[in-house]
Structure 1
C-alpha cells in the first residue's frame, strides 16, 4: 500500500483529507491558484501587476485567492507604509517555491498539448 493511503486520511493544519492528492489540490487547485503562483515564481509582484498579468480573474477572485494562498503559507504579503497609498508586495515563501518544479512541469505539458492539438494566439 502506498504511504499516502496507509490510513483513512491525511491531516494538515487541522484539516483532514482522504489522500495527499486531495490535500495538494486544496492548496493549489482551482482555476487561479496555480496561475498566481506561476506569476510569482520568478519575482515578487504588487497586486496591480498581478491584475495586469491575470486580467481574466476578477478583483474579488484574485483577492480571495491571494488571501487563501497566504493563509496556506504558499505566498507572503508584505505591507510597506502606514498611510494610503500603501505598497503591498506578494512573493513565494520557501513552501511556495517548493511547488515551482510542479508548475514548470504543468507549463511544459500544457505547451506540448497546445503544439500537438491547439495553437498559440498572440
Structure 2
C-alpha cells in the first residue's frame, strides 16, 4: 500500500511540472494586425545586422514599442523573419519587410495583414 501511494505521489509531481497542453506551450505568440510595406537595403540594420554578409536573411523593420527588436515573427506571404531594424516611418502597428531587390520590394506593395509575434 505504501508503495502505491509513493508511486502515485511521484507521478503527480512529474505531471505537475508539465504544461496542460504541450502544443500551447510551444506556440506562445500574439497576433497583431499591421500595415506591411517593404524595403530593400544592403547595409546595416539598427541592431547591427549586416545584409551584405547575409543577403538571404529574412528581416523586418518594426516599432520596438510594439514588437521588440530580436523577436521572431511570422509574416504571411513572406515567412518567418526576425525584427532587426527600425525606420523613421515605422510607427505603431506598421512593419517593413526586407527584400534583396527593389523589384521584389515593389511587388510586395502595401498590405494589411495579421502577423504572429513569438515571445523571446
TM-score (norm 2): 0.22
Scaled by the length of structure 1, the TM-score of the pair is: 0.21
Larger Rg: 2
Indicate the structure with greater helix content.
Answer: 1
- Determine which structure has greater relative contact order: mean sequence separation of CA pairs < 8 Å that are 6+ residues apart, divided by chain length: 2
